[in-house]
Amino acid sequence: MSKLDKIKAEISFHEKMFFAALAVIVGLIGWSASNFLNTSAFVLFLAFFCTLASAVYGVYQYRFIKQLIKELEDA
């Protein structure tokens, strides 16, 4: 496998992980909004923490994808 193909495959994988993080964020916000009155504060706090962690992970993935795209341009 050439270096260009390897970088393209890595971009594809990290792109999927980025969109998975976005899906987790949207899902947790939707779940929290619909179950706000029926759920304990602890579970809502855990959902908020997981949403925040997914957002941080999504930003990390986005920056990594940008780095790989720049590496692809230089190759």
**In the predicted structure, residue 1 carries a pLDDT above the cut 90:** no
The pTM (predicted TM-score) of the whole model is: 0.87
Q: Which residue has the higher pLDDT, 64 or 3?
A: 64
**54 CB neighbour count, 10 Å cutoff:** 19
CA gap 72, 69 in Å, rounded: 5
pLDDT in tens, 23-65: 999 999 999 999 999 999 999 999 999 999 999 999 999 999 9
